Structure 1
Amino acid sequence: MSLNDTPGAERLRIGFFGVRNAGKSNLVNAFTGQSLSVTSPVAGTTTDAVVKGMELLPVGPVTVVDTPGIDDEGDLGCKRAGRARDELRRCDVAVLVVDATRGVSDQDRELLSAFAEKAIPCVVAFNKVDLLAAGRDACGEGGAAFEEAALKLPEGAIVRKIAVSAATGMNVRELRESVAAAAGHAKPARRVVADLVNPGDVVVLVIPIDSSAPKGRIILPQQMVLRDLLDAHAAALACQPDELAGLLGSLARPPKLVVTDSQAFSQVAAIVPPEVPLTSFSILMARRKGQLSLLIEGANALGGLTGESRVLVCEGCTHHRQCEDIGTVKMPAWIKAFCGAEPRFEFVSGKEFPDSLEGYDLVVHCGGCMLNGREMGYRLDKARACGVPIVNYGIAIAHMNGILERSLDSLRGKYS
């Protein structure tokens, strides 16, 4: 991904689902206009999710995912089908690809029910209509395939139907339009910071440049806050922690807000006057992903950890671990010092997340900047359902430094 690309977590995610040999990969290739997926008449050719970014007008940048057949068999096939089901928790819009020559299968109906349960807007694409003797009839609402699907739609499902042919290109453009229309039902993302400021406000961004900072650039949450401030016509001033006092002293009036990297929370809080609102990039990201209240509640579990406690530390991205890595080194050390005990820490990163959180006493999660809203919501909902407290880095650090309430003052009434 170049610096000018929209990151995957900020793209609408479109998943193509269905049984083997329904023509998902051929349709994905036609939809994207690229030979993205390997295709073959052999069932089960797609063995893992294939991901591609594209521009879908008028939606904008999207991620298209070609999934393995949901009906794959055998030990390996079950793992492939499991990968397809995993995609359900990440997708904002689903395309159910049905082989029009075979009709709607039981697995197709199960997928429709899953889409409805998860409130995923869906487009049912009846593929291979060029192979039907009365293919032209399948294009109308009176087509038998459409009638069957209509009778089986789960209550509350948001579904559009269209007859297509990946082989001939029939109605592929219309499929793109249907997907774009379905995207209108996807939950809109909350602004990062723009709703907290007014045009002309000055916001100070405190960005440490240490051994863990990426070479020649700043990390995604910092980029997103900066861009959102520019879109809000506010002025952003950036500095490192050691330069903050001098910067604040040079301003004619106090800034509207100071946003800091969580690792510098304690140092920055000692410098910023109490009357100036202060928060962190991580807290802003948690607010944007939703359920900030749940994460705030989770902070209360930090003080009750013991030597018998199990703590799961989760990061949404995979990166090279350094000697001062925040997830595996700094966070465990801070937590041990805060609770005065030696809990057991376990670590997962990237797409990894346990199917069960049973046995854990706390989940500590990163800000989730590399996870889209649905995936982050899935993790938060799982923790809630399992009764396991969950907190993110920024909230945990603020709580352990006694400045959580202050870091939330500027957000009062603007989070759930």
Structure 2
Amino acid sequence: MAGLNQTPKGNRIFIGIFGKRNAGKSSFINRLTKQDIALVSNIAGTTTDPVYKAMEILPLGPVMIIDTAGIDDVGDLGKLRIGKTKEVMSKTDVAVILLEAGQPVSDFERSLLKDFKELGTQVIFAVNKVDEKTLDPKQINQISEEIGLPVFPISAKTGEGFDELREELIKVAPRAFEDIPFLRDLVNPGDVVLFCVPIDTAAPKGRLILPQVQAIRDCLDARAVAMVAKVDEIQNQLDNLKVPPALVVTDSQVFKEVNAIVPESIRLTSFSILMARQKGNLDELVNGAEAIESLRPGDKVLIAEACTHQCQADDIGRVKIPRWLKQKVGGDLDIEWYTGDSFPSDLSGYKLVIHCGACMINRRAMLYRQKVSKEYSLPMVNYGVAIAYLHGILGRVLSPFHK
């Protein structure tokens, strides 16, 4: 089982299970995964918050199954649970909507279908518990015509219909995350890639952070040669190489130092910018950098961090970027921070969003955050892009992506 959890959460296909209370969502997950991983009860509302379970479904590979609270929950606590469920919708790659056999399609299911259509999410609609109430083909066809989608009659209890549903899931799921290159399309077999990896108080003891690991692995997959050094060793590594590296990838925090060391003839970028290209729309994030120029003291800026790491003395999002922004605009900004899986739905009043590298969320979630910002005509920029802009080297660090 350890192998199932080795793929990072943000690199998995997210499959969300949605529907009314007691539609059989937890039983469905247990049948789909062939494990008793979700609590099953005849009492409506047993699942109170989204439950994430890392699994592997062949041939899809690593997936994240999400068991959500009933979308028709009631009361003040129910509203909070529904809010959590709606947050899950923004990161769901494939949504499975369950309707209990014998129940009509209600406004709840129609609302889900409408929301997922607007999000561009693939939807599988299933009628569960057909072992308890048999539906004839005519009834299934009526539901299908009503919602405009194929309908899969299933029984989570007996397994009826699951082979067909699983085939549909495999067919509509997005391509594997690993098919989106990190850097392997930027180098050729035999090329040397030099990685600058600062080791400071924020670096996890005994290991590298996720973007660094992904970059090195993608380099090896490209049959290129990976070299890793700290900032004060970069010059020695360059001097010792008979042929200059095809690419230097650095932590964005030391852009200024590494830019001064690495000759202009050598391509340079950062882990954060590579991550932005893989997880989101890099062109839009680059366009967002122009908004830094128009910032004035007192303007409201949102810094979004997709993880909840412990803040360090010279933290990149809490200390360094605010300090560089202050130097740029000539005064203090009204900076607010938002951390974790969720993202504010109301972005009114902000002049700019500065987003982290997004290594802890999936591509759909990052694209959703960019979409929400666009709806508010609010520029968004990535950490690495913002830092490069503030140091006057944005053009250089984007040059590796220009054909």
* Pairwise CA distance, 1:300: 1.7
Q: 1:366 to 1:409 in 2, by over 3 A?
A: same
Structure-1 separation of matches of 2:364 and 2:184: 22
Residue 31 of structure 2 is matched in structure 1 by 30
| 1:59-115 residue CA offsets vs partner (Å, 9 max, x unmatched) | 101000011111112221122122212111100001111111214223112222222
Distance 2:48 2:60 in 1: 29
SS of 1:273 mapped into structure 2: coil
C-alpha contact 1:305 1:341 (8 A) present in aligned 2:
no
Does the 8 Å contact 2:286/2:385 carry over to 1? yes
Counterpart secondary structure, 1:324? coil
**Which residue is equivalent to 1:204?**
194
Give the equivalent residue in structure 1 for 2:74: 73
Query: What stretches of structure 2 of length at least 5 have no aligned partner?
Result: none
Whole-Å separation in 2 of the counterparts to 1:188 and 1:117: 26
Equivalent in 359, 376, 379 of residue 366 of structure 2: 376
How far is 1:171 from its partner?
Answer: 3.0
Q: Which secondary structure does the structure 1 equivalent of 2:131 belong to? A: helix
Q: Does structure 2 retain, via aligned residues, the 8 Å contact 1:299–1:396?
A: yes
- CA–CA distance in structure 1, aligned partners of residues 150 and 360 of structure 2: 30
Paired position in structure 1 for 2:13 = 12
Q: Is the 8 A contact 2:13 2:174 kept in 1?
A: no
**Segment of structure 1 superposing worse, 185-194 or 119-128:** 185-194
Alignment of 1:111-190 (within 5 A): 111-132=112-133, 135=134, 138=136, 142-144=137-139, 146-154=140-148, 159-184=149-174, 190=180
Whole-angstrom distance in 1 between the partners of 2:59 and 2:206: 33
- Partner secondary structure for residue 367 of structure 2: helix
Distance 2:155 2:144 in 1: 20
Partner secondary structure for residue 110 of structure 1? helix
Task: Out of 218-227 and 175-184, give the one that drifted further.
Answer: 175-184
Deviation at 1:190, TM superposition (A): 2.6
Per mean C-alpha deviation after superposition, the further-off stretch among 25-34 and 367-376 is 25-34
Q: How many residues align?
A: 402
Corresponding residue of 2:184: 194
Q: Which residue of 2 aligns with 1:360?
A: 350
User: Residue 182 of structure 1: CA displacement?
Assistant: 1.7
For 2:131 and 2:76, locate their aligned partners in 1 and report how far apart those are by CA, in whole Å.
34
Letter in 1 for 2:146: K
Q: CA deviation at 1:36?
A: 2.1
Give CA deviations for 1:323-376 in whole Å, capped at 9, x if unaligned: 111111111111111221111111111123211110111111101111111110
- Displacement of 1:389 in angstroms is 1.5
- Structure 1 residues 160, 246: CA separation in 2 closer, same or farther (over 3 Å shift)? farther
Listed as ranges, the matches of 1:3-402 within 5 Å are: 5-132=6-133, 135=134, 138=136, 142-144=137-139, 146-154=140-148, 159-184=149-174, 190-402=180-392
- For residues 254 and 212 of structure 1, the distance between their equivalents in structure 2, rounded to whole angstroms, comes to 30
Name the SS for the 2:326 alignment partner.
Answer: helix
Give TM-score, length-normalised by structure 2.
Answer: 0.95
Distance 2:174 2:271 in 1: 28
What SS does the aligned partner of 2:289 have? helix
CA distance in 1, matches of 2:305, 2:172: 31
Whole-Å separation in 2 of the counterparts to 1:271 and 1:2: 42
**Alignment deviations for residues 235-268 of structure 1 (CA, whole Å, 9 cap, x no partner):** 1111111000000111111111100000110000
Contact 1:90 1:374 in 2 (8 A): yes
User: 1:160 Cα deviation (Å)?
Assistant: 4.6
TM superposition shift of 1:410: 0.9
Please list the CA deviations of residues 165-209 of structure 1 after superposition, one character each: whole Å capped at 9, or x if unmatched: 111222334433321222157998631111111111111111001
Contact 1:201 1:256 in 2 (8 A): yes
Q: Distance in 2 between matches of 1:387 and 1:67?
A: 31
Determine the C-alpha separation between the residues in 2 that align with 1:264 and 1:186. Answer: 32
Higher mean alpha-carbon deviation, 285-294 vs 273-282, is at: 285-294
RMSD: 1.9
Q: Is the 8 A contact 1:160 1:178 kept in 2?
A: no
Q: Give the letter for the 1:410 counterpart.
A: P
Q: Does the 8 Å contact 1:203/1:259 carry over to 2? A: yes
Contact 1:160 1:182 (8 Å CA) reproduced: no
TM-score, normalised to structure 1's length? 0.92
